[in-house]
């Protein structure tokens, strides 16, 4: 598949995303380490999108089979990740009202 | 790809940024996760609706299968088994990314013979790191689920084997750059799986969460690289975000344990595990009955509970809550001192105690807890060891030396609930167990606590 | 001049840069407001690059004249901005060694 | 553009990010500025070396002219005149961006007739906002340089005129989207210049720094838009960074003054300027001679100096330093209480006092200063008024109500150095001037302080 926006554009996007990733989490408290890890984990489940796109243009049976496996794995990552993160956070936020700061 | 679809992807990317931002603050964490889920839904909906997809039925079927596997796993897992579930989810993501790159490679290989260097490099990277992440995550799962030993596994000449496999993987990757050989790529995939296993084997059980976080960052980068292969900006942004934030998070976690990352990955306390632990076993200790402990606690003015790994293992969070409620009803002031690395993963104790409905106000962070401890009558240490071991302050040679600890020794009396005199994760003796002001209550944390609850009720 | 990396790629870059800009300065202490403003001011002097590029491909006298004016203005912005910011900061940092935190 | 050049631009963009990051922390601020300058040098060098440029001699000449204007201006300006210089630099940047868009428009108009909607929108945006930024900055310069009144200028029916011009500018911009008319664009430029003037006129002198910061963010966005027109990623990234960080900075500055941004831009304290200020002028006050003040200060144990706008105007920073040194030599404990919005721009007092080599340790931030003030013998208020006015705590109607202030009234005695009983920027009476524990030392801050210095030496 062709890169529509050019290698250097993608590199710029990569560099900016690195800075955003660094900055955004750099002040997280240790209490939230586990849910943050789990949430970030769910986000990279977006590889599902790549798996769908590639499967949708594949033709050989080997490729389609591998593609479907990738879709299953990606879905497990994404859906399971968000659900389990929400479960963790639900417990934290049960008593949001009484929170101290 | 249409502008509309790209716009949808951009919205999804923004959702992911907001998700990480939200997840970084207690008040917004849950909204953050929802924002992430919204981004994921948008991304998948856009992808399915761009049309031009063949095999749509099969694709939807595969998504359904994935959901049917993922959702029940996520909703049913016990809170204490969270880490291994996160490890699995992370591993399958890495595996998916490696597969995507492999399929793209097969497709392009069958169509053209010109090799774009950038694409080829990204493909090789994805296959290598994705496989490492997949295999490594599976090993962490096995360790945490206790399908295998949680102790560091050091193969004979382990360093040399790992080193050789690492060199082989990198060599294959570099060799794969200029040529387009499916055989080479599949070999690389297999060798990388081996590398992933060897990478995680020498890591001790309690260090595994750090490794999961690191592999999480790896998977993020893999997804970004697979996005480069596909020319998909969303995958690049989302993967890079996770790669960058995961790296920071790994460092923060390691810092909370007061140890360098390289030590966790490669050192694993190997030198000091055996020695002192074996030596000092037959010194006298004072052990108490549940009734003794009940009296100590029931007539105290202030009790600080220090929960640890053992409480999580024993699933004793509800029982400790019950005990705390009983004591509070008797007019005892009860609070919990939470060490950042107590439990199986960072923040794990907070999650566990929150599950048991412990009020947020009574969870004290380390500094606060240490202030309270100095005026406490009893420090009740439940299934914790390293996080209260004074060796961190006093023995420069100890592997935990320099780690900030909860100073339970500053309380008037200390009670330890544990099953034996065995040391904790760091494998070093805890002098406090032999201290005259310490009483030991031997047994599984949950059972012991139940007995203490019964005894307090009988007071 | 053609956009080499496509409108949507540029928009992505824009969005990421917005986040980086927000996050990076969101914890600045009030002491540094003035130098930060001045430094940011110098950075947008990079419009000089645009002025040079456009002048270098212009032909009409009106366009060249306007281009040269833009170059002068951009240079004043950029060069003056960095110099004056450094002057402010030099005073702050004179006693770096004795700083409290 | 070659990959090499684009790579150079990417490095420059990274430099700019690191610059903003560095400038946000005291320890790294100076390195941050250098990183920014390095990025600028790289960007210009890459641009000049991509070749293909005509008129290279003229271009280099223009750069030289710009440097010859900019460097001396930057090195010679007095510290107190910093704000107007920043305003000028900002304005010319906005002007340059507007010109770039205009030239690109002229070039494209002479070559093709197809209109790319995105480019056209960016062009119109650049011309509009760039011109506003240019004209607005020039007016702020005129205000700060006191080429015109620093009070808010409210034209008869000012709101209506501004509103009409705003509507005209937006209308012209929208009209300019589908057609390609040079006349329309030039008209837009002229109307936008007018809008810029009208935008800044109603803002009071002391609020001008906030407006400069806002216009700075505007210029950033303009540069980003001109980058879009040129298809230049570096301009987009750099401009957007400044636009985003400038917006945050503007909000932080406004927050430090405890007032909403809209109030600063459109309200400007108009309602409450005249009333109370005129009323209370003939109540008795206690004024002292320099000798009285010298005795008060020389025999105190602890003195907190609160500098303000007037100290900056009078250029008295070196004299206050001299006085503080004298007092310290006598064993008096001296520290400075710095209000975030004291002076002409945020952080201005820190800069001024740093220029006079006041040790960093003796500069107290507001909370710290308030703790020290409660145990101080004398609070010496030099050319400050609003930042110590208790009305911020006590009079819900006052425009500064709710702004955190330095509680000099908690010191045992208060000395005000000012020229008259006139109020400060907010235009409201300061009851503290009439308090029995207050002594007034009338006169220009620098002259008064010199006399006090002489008197302390004579003690
Ligand atoms: N939280 C994290 O993120 C994290 C990550 C990586 C590493 N670590 C490391 O893990 C350690 C955590 O410290 P910690 O004090 O919580 O744990 P620890 O030092 O590993 O001690 C746990 C104690 O619990 C006892 N125990 C185990 N099962 C039990 C049960 N069913 N009932 C009662 N007691 C039981 C064990 O003693 P018995 O066998 O005698 O019962 C052991 O002494 C630290 O060294 C930390 O660096 C933590
Ligand atoms: N720092 C910022 O970023 C910023 C930005 C925007 C607005 N503001 C506003 O500016 C105000 C700053 O408060 P402030 O207390 O520093 O200043 P202020 O309230 O404006 O008071 C300054 C005082 O200095 C006196 N003064 C002027 N020239 C003097 C001279 N040559 N010698 C001695 N005294 C002289 C004036 O009284 P006489 O005329 O009687 O001498 C006046 O009362 C606040 O209202 C703040 O909100 C600040």
| 8 Å CB contact of A21 and B361 | no
Closest C-alpha residue for ligand 2 atom 44: D386
- Pairing verdict, β D413-418 and D438-442: parallel
Q: State whether residue D241 sits within 8 Å of chain C by CB.
A: yes
Decide which of B326 and D282 is more confident.
B326
Q: Is residue A11 part of a domain?
A: no
Q: Is residue A16 part of a domain?
A: no
Q: What confidence tier does B67 reach under pLDDT thresholds 50, 70, 90? A: very high
- Domain range for A34 is 29-100
Determine, for residues C5 and D103 on separate chains, whether the beta-carbon distance falls below 8 Å: no
When comparing pLDDT for B218 and B5, which is higher? B218
**Separation between Cα atoms, residue D248 and residue D242, nearest integer Å:** 10
pLDDT digits (tens, 9 = 90+) for B85-117: 999 999 999 999 999 999 999 888 777 666 678
Convert the pLDDT of each residue in C58-69 to its tens digit: 888 999 999 999
- Kindly indicate the confidence band of residue D271, based on its pLDDT and cuts at 50, 70 and 90: very low
Q: How confident is the model at residue B281 (pLDDT cuts 50, 70, 90)?
A: low
Spatial CA neighbour of A77 closest among B245, B216, B128, B234: B216
pLDDT above 90: residue D11: yes
CA D153 – CA D137 distance, rounded (Å): 16
**pLDDT for the residue numbered B144:** 82
**pLDDT for C65:** 95
Angle separating helix axes B82-111 and A81-93, nearest 10 degrees: 150
pLDDT of residue B145: 83
Is residue D14 less than 8 Å (CB to CB) from chain A?
Answer: yes
State the average pLDDT over residues D248-271.
71
Among the residue ranges B297-306, B321-330, B343-352, D255-264, the one predicted with the least confidence is: D255-264
Task: Please identify, by atom number, the ligand 1 atom nearest to the C-alpha of residue B419.
Answer: 41
Query: What is the per-residue pLDDT across B386-445, written as a single tens digit (0 to 9) for each?
Result: 899 998 888 877 777 777 899 999 999 999 999 998 888 777 889 999 999 999 999 999
| B268 pLDDT higher than 50 | no
Expressed in angstroms and rounded, the spacing between residue D441 Cα and the centre of ligand 2 is 16
More confident residue, B13 or C88: B13
CA–CA distance, A85 with B22 (Å, rounded to integer) = 13
Sheet holding D302-307, edge to edge: D363-364, D333-337, D302-307, D378-382, D413-418, D438-442
pLDDT band at B282 (very low <50, low <70, confident <90, very high): low
Contact A13 B90 (CB under 8 A): no
More confident residue, B283 or B279: B283
Task: Read off the pLDDT of residues A38-59 as tens digits, 9 standing for 90 and up.
Answer: 999 999 999 999 999 999 998 8
pLDDT at D131: 96
Closest ligand to residue D385's CA? 2
- Measured between alpha carbons, how far is B312 from B331 in angstroms, rounded to an integer? 27
D325 band by pLDDT with thresholds 50, 70 and 90: very high
Residue D346 in contact with ligand 2 by CB distance below 6 A: yes
pLDDT band at residue D268 under the 50/70/90 scheme: very low
Q: Which residue has the higher pLDDT, A8 or D235?
A: D235
| pLDDT band at residue A19 under the 50/70/90 scheme | very high
Do D224 and D240 contact (CB within 8 A), yes or no?
A: yes
Q: Considering only C51-55, D81-85, D167-171, which range has the smallest mean pLDDT?
A: D81-85
| Domain layout of chain D by residue ranges | 1-76, 80-270, 290-457
* pLDDT tens by residue, D375-425: 999 999 999 998 999 988 888 777 777 778 999 999 999 999 999 988 887
pLDDT above 80 for D280: no
CA distances (Å), origin D335, targets D199, D321, D377, D438: 40, 11, 12, 19
Task: Flag whether A touches B (3+ CB pairs, 8 A cutoff).
Answer: yes
**pLDDT exceeding 90 applies to what percent of chain D?**
55
More confident residue, B177 or D8: D8
Give the Cα separation of D88 and D91 in Å (integer). 5
B97 contacts A40? CB cut-off 8 A: no
Cα-to-centroid distance, B334 and ligand 1 (Å): 22
Mean pLDDT of chain A: 84
In angstroms, rounded to a whole number, what is the distance separating the alpha carbons of residues D358 and D381? Answer: 17
Whether the pLDDT of residue B279 is over 50: the answer is no
Ligand 1, pocket residues at CB < 6 Å: B 206-207, 209-210, 257, 308-310, 313-314, 341-346, 348, 383-387, 417-420, 422, 424-426, 444-445
Residues ≥6 apart with Cβ < 8 Å to D188: D124, D127, D128, D131, D169, D172, D173, D176
Ligand nearest to the backbone CA of B381: 1
Q: How many CA atoms lie within 13 A of D306 on its CB side?
A: 32
E strand or H helix that includes residue B451: helix B445-457
In the predicted structure, residue C12 carries a pLDDT above the cut 80: yes
Query: What is the pLDDT, as a whole number, of residue A97?
Result: 39
Q: Does domain D290-457 fall into CATH 3.40.50.1220?
A: yes
Cα B312 to averaged position of ligand 1 atoms, centre (Å): 9
What pLDDT, on the 0 to 100 scale, is given for residue B272?
42
The atom number, within ligand 1, closest to the CA of B387 reads 15
What is the number of CB-based contacts under 8 A between chain A and chain D? 17
Element (H, E) at B221: helix B208-230
Tell which wins on pLDDT, D148 or B84.
B84
Residue D77: closest CA among D351, D382, D418, D425: D351
* Subunit contact C19:B6, Cβ cutoff 8 A: no
- Between C84 and B146, the higher pLDDT residue: C84
The 10s digit of each residue's pLDDT in D122-141 is: 999 999 999 999 999 999 99
Question: Is C93 part of any domain?
Answer: yes
For B119-146, what is the mean pLDDT? 92
> Per residue in C31-64, pLDDT tens?
788 889 999 999 999 999 999 999 999 888 999 9
Residues of C in contact with B6 (CB under 8 A): 8
Give φ, ψ of D302 to 5 degrees. Answer: -135, 125
pLDDT tops 90 at residue B345 = no
Within a 10 A sphere around the Cβ of B34, how many other Cβ atoms?
Answer: 18
Which residues of chain A are within 8 Å of residue B7 when distances are taken between CB atoms?
none
Chain A partners of C20 at a C-beta cutoff of 8 Å?
Answer: 16, 19-20, 23
Considering the entire predicted model, what is its pTM? Answer: 0.82
pLDDT confidence of A98, banded at 50, 70, 90?
Answer: very low
Q: Which ligand is nearest to the CA of B392?
A: 1
Q: Does any ligand 2 atom lie closer than 6 A to the CB of residue D313?
A: yes
Token pair for B302: 């202030």
CA distance B265 to B159: 12
Question: Is residue B273 pLDDT above 70, yes or no?
Answer: no
Q: Does the beta carbon of D385 sit less than 6 angstroms from any atom of ligand 2?
A: yes
Q: Verify whether residue B386 is a known catalytic residue.
A: yes
Q: What does pLDDT average to over chain D?
A: 87
**pLDDT at position D103:** 93
Instruction: From the candidates D292, D325, D377, D386, give the one annotated as an active-site residue.
Output: D386
**Nearest atom in ligand 2 to D208's CA:** 6
- Residue D134 CB less than 6 A away from ligand 2: no
pLDDT higher than threshold 50 for residue D273: no
Distance from Cα D137 to the centre of ligand 2, integer Å = 22
The pLDDT of residue C18 = 95
Mean pLDDT of B23-48: 93
Task: Kindly report the average pLDDT of chain B as a whole number.
Answer: 87
Q: Tens digits of per-residue pLDDT, B350-372?
A: 878 887 888 878 889 888 899 99
């Amino acid at each position: 598949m062709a890169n529509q926006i050019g290698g250097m554009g993608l590199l710029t996007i990569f560099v900016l995303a690195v800075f955003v990733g660094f900055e955004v989490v750099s002040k997280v408290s240790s209490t939230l380490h586990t849910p943050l890890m789990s949430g970030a984990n769910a986000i990279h489940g977006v590889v599902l999108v790549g798996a769908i796109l590639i499967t949708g243009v594949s033709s050989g049976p080997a490729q389609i089979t591998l593609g479907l496996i990738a879709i299953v794995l990606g879905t497990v990552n994404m859906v399971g990740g968000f659900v389990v993160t929400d479960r963790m956070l639900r417990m934290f936020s049960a008593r949001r009202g009484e929170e101290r700061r | 790809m249409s502008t509309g679809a790209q716009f949808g992807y951009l919205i999804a990317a923004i959702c992911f940024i907001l998700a990480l931002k939200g997840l970084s603050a207690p008040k917004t964490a849950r909204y953050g996760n929802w924002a992430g889920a919204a981004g994921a839904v948008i991304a998948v909906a856009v992808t399915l609706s761009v049309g031009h997809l063949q095999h749509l039925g099969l694709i939807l079927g595969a998504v359904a299968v994935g959901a049917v596997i993922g959702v029940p796993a996520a909703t049913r897992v016990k809170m204490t088994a969270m880490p291994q579930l996160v490890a699995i989810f992370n591993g399958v993501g890495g595996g998916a990314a490696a597969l995507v790159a492999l399929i793209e490679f097969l497709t392009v290989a069958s169509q053209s013979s010109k090799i774009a260097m950038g694409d080829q490099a990204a493909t090789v990277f994805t296959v290598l790191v994705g496989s490492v992440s997949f295999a490594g995550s599976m090993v962490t799962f096995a360790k945490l689920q206790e399908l295998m030993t949680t102790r560091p596994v050091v193969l004979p000449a382990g360093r040399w084997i790992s080193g050789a496999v690492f060199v082989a993987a990198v060599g294959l990757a570099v060799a794969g750059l200029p040529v387009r050989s499916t055989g080479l790529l599949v070999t690389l995939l297999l060798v990388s799986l081996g590398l992933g296993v060897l990478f995680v084997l020498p890591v001790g059980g309690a260090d595994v969460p750090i490794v999961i976080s690191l592999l999480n960052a790896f998977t993020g980068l893999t997804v970004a690289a697979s996005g480069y292969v596909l020319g998909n900006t969303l995958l690049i942004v989302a993967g890079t975000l996770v790669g960058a934030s995961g790296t920071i998070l790994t460092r923060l976690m390691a810092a909370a344990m007061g140890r360098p990352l390289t030590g966790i990955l490669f050192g694993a306390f190997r030198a000091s595990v055996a020695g002192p632990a074996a030596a000092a076993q037959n010194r006298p200790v004072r052990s108490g009955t549940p009734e003794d402990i009940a009296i100590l606690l029931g007539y105290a003015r202030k009790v600080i509970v220090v929960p640890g790994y053992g409480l999580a293992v024993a699933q004793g969070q509800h029982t400790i809550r019950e005990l705390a409620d009983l004591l509070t009803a008797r007019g005892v002031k009860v609070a919990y001192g939470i060490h950042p690395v107590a439990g199986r993963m960072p923040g794990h104790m907070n999650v566990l105690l929150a599950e048991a409905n412990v009020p947020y106000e009574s969870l004290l962070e380390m500094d606060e807890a240490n202030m309270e401890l100095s005026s406490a009558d009893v420090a009740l240490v439940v299934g914790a060891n390293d996080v209260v071991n004074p060796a961190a302050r006093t023995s420069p040679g100890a592997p935990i030396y320099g780690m900030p600890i909860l100073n339970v020794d500053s309380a008037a009396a200390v009670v330890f609930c544990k099953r034996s005199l065995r040391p904790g994760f760091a494998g070093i003796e805890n002098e406090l167990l032999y201290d005259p002001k310490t009483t030991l209550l031997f047994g599984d944390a949950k059972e012991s606590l139940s007995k203490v609850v019964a005894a307090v009720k009988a007071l």
